[in-house]
Amino acid sequence: MASLSEQRAALKFCFLLGKNAAESVLMLKTAYKDDAMGKT
């Protein structure tokens, strides 16, 4: 199970790559599957 802090780091990485929120959530869901944090 991926920790919340790990997913937050991944979100920051997506932001630095210029991804928007929808793209970032999709990428997290692809990588972490059921353990991904929600959009909210």
Query: What is the tens place of the pLDDT at every residue in 16-35?
Result: 999 999 999 999 999 998 88
Domain range annotation of the chain: 4-34
31 touches 9 (CB < 8 A) = no
Contact 37, 2 (CB under 8 A): no
Using 50, 70 and 90 to split pLDDT, how confident is the model at 1? low
- Residue bearing the bigger pLDDT, 15 or 38: 15
